[in-house]
Copies of this chain bind each other. A is one copy, B any other.
Amino acid sequence: MRPNRVLERMVAGEKVINGWCAIPSSVSAETMAHQAFDSVTVDMQHGLIDYQCALTMLQAISQTQATPLCRVPWLEPGIIMKMLDAGAYGVICPMVNIPQDAHAFVSACSYAPDGMRSFGPTRAVVYGGADYAQHANRSMLKLAMIETKQAVANMEAIMATPGLSGVYIGPSDLSLSYGYTPKLDHDEPAVLEIIGQICECAKRHGILAGIHCLSPAYAKRMHAEGFDMVTLASDNRLIAAGAAEHIALVRASDAGDGPAGQY
């Protein structure tokens, strides 16, 4: 079976960078996957993407060395299993708030006797290889999102779930849950404190920790603080931010066109 490179590398202690697709297109996904990301995630929750398009995105990503992952819209077995059958090598599951959620999530990602995943890896064997069935349970990356006060309260039990690969922090929901402005790259000390506790808890349980970031600087800092995986914004934000910046540079008055000249 084709190894799950991003999983193997994180288990080996390497820091990885994850790309994020919110645009429903195999073209943008292909462009993302041809950059130097270690993995590329098709976001079916807040990304504007549904299954049929996600499938073509996984195919596009599968041309490259980047490991194809997805975030599902919700903890629902139907879509989790469909995405694994479609060749996603990992699932990020939102709103895992109680241990039962974590168990249900791992179960949906695992064949018997470990779980209740139904057998029919139609595209997964094409991508993974003929021996996919034998290795899938331990090869799929399973990241539970810790993003509410309730999840933090339950994090010890959640992280103890057998088969769970790690946790992934959604800073917007997490900060919102604690009464702060929902945003990425939070600098609020109380939020940073909680983020640190989640990361530390994951390390203690011997599982992986990932977090969604916006800027490279914040991502780099999260790597330094112990996170195994950092995600960099999204394809859509790269367009918005890049276009805005470039337009501003063209429109800048002559006095200010030094920076543009340096481009």
A residues contacting B by CB (< 8 A) are 17, 19, 22-28, 30-32, 34-37, 45-53, 55-56, 59-60, 62-63, 72-74, 76-79, 81-82, 85-86, 94-95, 111-113, 116, 118-123, 126-127, 133, 147-148, 170, 172-173, 176-177, 179, 181-182, 215-217, 219-220, 223, 230, 232-233, 235-236, 238-252, 257, 260-263
Q: Is the CB of B133 within 8 A of A118?
A: no
> Is B46's CB under 8 angstroms from A118's CB?
yes
Select one of B52, B95, B148 contacting A24, CB under 8 A.
B52
| Inter-chain contact B26/A59, CB cutoff 8 Å | yes
Question: In whole angstroms, what is the CA distance A147 to B111 when docked?
Answer: 13
Contact A220 B30 (CB under 8 A): no
Contact across chains for A239 and B63 when beta carbons are under 8 A apart: no
Whose C-beta in chain B lies nearest to the C-beta of A37?
B247
A56 closest partner in B (C-beta) = B56
Least CB distance from A202 to B in Å reads 20
Nearest first, the 3 A-B pairs at minimum CB distance are: A46-B120, A74-B78, A216-B249
B32, B36, B182, B240: the one contacting A31 at CB < 8 Å is B240
A50 and B50 contacting across the interface, CB-CB below 8 Å: yes
